[in-house]
Amino acid sequence: MASNPLSLVYNLRHISRRRTQSLFTIVGIALVVFVFVATLMLEEGLRFTLASTGSLENAIVLRVGAENEIQSGVNREAASVIEMDPSVATDADGNRLLTKDVVVLISMKKRVDGQPSNVNVRGVLPAARMLRDGITIIEGRLPTPGTREVMLGRAIHTRFLNTDIGSQIRMVGTEWTVTGIFDPGMSAFGSEIWGDVDILLPAFRRDRFSSVTYRLNGSEPFDVIKERLESDKRLSVTVIREQEFYARQSRVLGLFIRYVGIFVSVVFSLGAMIGAMITMYSAVANRTREIGILRALGFARNVVFRAFLRECVVLSLIGGVGGLVLASLLVFAHISTTNFQTFSELGFGFRITPRIAISGMIFALIMGTLGGALPALRGARLRILTALKD
């Protein structure tokens, strides 16, 4: 019989007999997996939101060395040179699909607690909506060019005060009328206020654009375009694909979320593993005579070891699935925080992927294996006579 392993039914039967202890272990592991998976979902949601903001068909031009649009500055002469570049696409009427944006920060009060937070205000040209796919007006109308009118991303309308249609937003000492609410899909533009760049530039006393974004016509390889513009001594700019640019904006905050979340998960996992050890040590103590009988019947030490270890792994798998189910409910939640690279409010949601789900289950298995190894080893090393006398 030494070669016959103990069946899974053996483990499930004993788990059902110790329901209270088993439940505590399962809940502990589930909570740790929930925290771990929620952290990965939060990071993935941030990355997906910013990556969805840009398009591979667009190029964005910024000042050399600028890490974001707030730090950047492109003068009018340089913007005009970029506008006339042969790589800029045109629409059916021959208009160039290009926008010269200015991005500034203002402070607004949140609906929830009335606390101030930084918000991006973006001055754009009319072509901006054509460049940013998926932007639709869901309430009100577009701002009239040449006026102090603005439209707001849906996230701004949801989270901040005085953002209804017809409301007045005070910026640089003057009132700006809200005429529309737009939905940008999953992109970060939903956390911005848009207005006419030709009105916003003088209002904020700016003489430079923050960036120039345009649609590539595909006539040349991107590397050739990048080399031509970056080597032009009149410009002093850097050129990057828009999607890559926005993906970079998530790196600092994403790494912060990941490291903090993993640290918290590891700390919590120590408690979960101790709980698993207590449960399994108790199982060994309560089944000492049973272990002696199994050994006397010919079951080898390694079979007993695997049986007890498998029992803890089963508990961790159940806890892992429970943690995943709880974490998956977070996809219906949306949060906002300050992006460390732009210092502005950014709204995004949790996002789960197969990779995150697999990582959560692996984490649960690691906790179960580490938590059950020592108790399983103790059970396997019990002497037959000692166990039978207990």
Neighbours of 114 (CB within 10 A): 8
pLDDT in tens, 230-279: 999 899 999 999 988 888 877 777 777 888 888 888 888 888 888 878 87
**Cross-strand partners of 241:** 59
**The pLDDT of residue 358:** 95
End-to-end CA distance of the chain: 23
**The pLDDT of residue 222:** 95
Residue ranges covered by each domain of the chain: 8-51+251-389, 65-235
- Residue where the block lists tokens 């199994």: 294
Show Cβ contacts of residue 290 under 8 Å, excluding neighbours closer than 6 positions.
none
**The pLDDT of residue 288:** 66
Where b means 16+ CB within 10 Å and e means fewer, 283-306 reads bbeebbebbbebbeeebbeebbbb
Residue 85 tokens, joined: 């570049």
**The pLDDT of residue 49:** 81
Per-residue pLDDT of the chain (390 residues; tens, 9 = 90+): 444 465 666 666 767 777 777 788 888 889 999 999 999 998 888 888 877 787 889 999 999 999 889 889 999 999 999 999 999 999 988 899 999 999 999 999 998 888 888 899 999 999 898 888 778 899 999 999 999 999 999 989 989 999 999 999 999 889 999 999 999 887 888 889 999 999 999 999 999 999 999 999 998 999 999 999 999 989 999 999 998 888 887 777 777 788 888 888 888 888 888 887 887 777 666 666 666 666 676 677 777 777 778 888 888 899 999 999 999 999 988 877 766 666 666 778 889 999 999 999 999 999 888 888 887 777 777 676 665 565
pTM of the model: 0.75
**The pLDDT of residue 3:** 45
Long-range contacts of 256-259 (CB under 8 A, 24+ apart): 256/340, 257/39, 257/42, 257/43, 257/46, 258/39, 258/40, 258/43
Cβ atoms 282, 312 nearer than 8 A: no
pLDDT in tens, 104-116: 999 999 988 888 8
**The pLDDT of residue 150:** 96
| 380 residue type, one letter | A
